Amino acid sequence: MVFARNGACRWVYRPDAFPWIPFDKGDSLPQLPGPTSGRPTSEVVEADKGDWLQGTPTGELGLQVLWQRDGYQIVMLTFDRDQ
């Protein structure tokens, strides 16, 4: 999960088994999908691993954004490794 405000990273939570997320406080995030039809969340989309992960892990990266008041966002990432 990436916690952000106005598209800039505030902090990152990453379990040990998840690929490295190379953002530090204040770094600009890649373009985020907007909310869906009056809901505070975006659709779940496939994200570019090169934009979000360090290295070249094989698998699919999913992304969904929870949009909050005052410019806050929570970016939820899922990673399905290729078998």
pTM for the whole thing?
0.91
Whether 80 has a pLDDT exceeding 80, the answer reads yes
Contacts of 17 (CB under 8 A, 6+ apart): none
In 3D space, the residue among 29, 32, 31 whose CA is nearest the CA of residue 42 turns out to be 32
pLDDT in tens, 26-72: 999 999 999 998 899 999 999 999 999 998 889 999 999 999 999 99
Domain ranges of the chain: 2-73
The DSSP call for residue 27 is P
